[in-house]
Amino acid sequence: MRIAVIGCCHGELNKLYDEISRNEVECGKKTDLVICCGDMQTVRNDEDLKNMAIKPHRSKYGDFLDYYEGKKLAPKLTIFVGGNHEVPNVLIPLYFGGWVAPNIYYLGGSGVIKICGVRIAGISGIYKSYDHHREYYEAEPYTEESKRSWYHIRQYEIQKILLLKENILNLINSDTDRKVNIFISHDWPRGIEKYGNVKYLFKRKPYIKKDVQSNNFGTPGFLEIINNLRPNYWFSGHHHCFFDASIPFESSNITSEFRAMDKFKKFGSPVRYFDIPSNDDKVFIQFDIEWLSILRSTLIDYPKDKTLTDGKSEIKLKEPEISDYEYIKEKLTKTLNCNDNIFEWPHWDHEGGDYKNYINQQDFILNIIK
pLDDT tens profile 148-187: 999 999 999 999 999 999 987 655 455 568 999 999 999 9
Report d(CA 345, CA 288) in Å as an integer. 10
Report d(CA 133, CA 313) in Å as an integer. 10
E-state strands within 141-242: 182-185, 233-236
SS3 329: helix
| Residue length of the chain | 370
Q: By the 8 A CB rule, do 32 and 2 touch?
A: yes
Taking 80 as the threshold, does the pLDDT of residue 284 lie above it? yes
303: CB partners within 8 A, 6+ apart: 134, 135, 136, 154, 156
Average pLDDT, the chain: 94
Number of domains in the chain: 1
Report d(CA 299, CA 322) in Å as an integer. 16
Q: By the 8 A CB rule, do 87 and 100 touch?
A: no
- What pLDDT shows up at residue 74? 98
The pLDDT-based confidence of 316 (bands split at 50, 70, 90) is confident
Q: By the 8 A CB rule, do 190 and 220 touch?
A: yes
Per-state percent for the chain, helix, strand, coil, to nearest 5: 30, 20, 50
The pLDDT-based confidence of 207 (bands split at 50, 70, 90) is very high
Taking 80 as the threshold, does the pLDDT of residue 193 lie above it? yes
- What pLDDT shows up at residue 175? 54
pTM over 0.85? The answer is: yes
Q: CA dist 121 to 107, 287, 350, Å?
A: 8, 12, 27
Q: Give percent above pLDDT 70 in the chain.
A: 95
Each residue's pLDDT tens digit, 104-143 = 999 999 999 999 999 999 999 999 999 999 999 999 999 9
Which domain, by its residues, includes 365? 2-369
Report d(CA 4, CA 26) in Å as an integer. 14
The CATH number of the domain where 31 resides is what? 3.60.21
Mean per-residue pLDDT, 271-284: 94
Residue 226 sits at φ, ψ, to 5 deg, of -60, -45
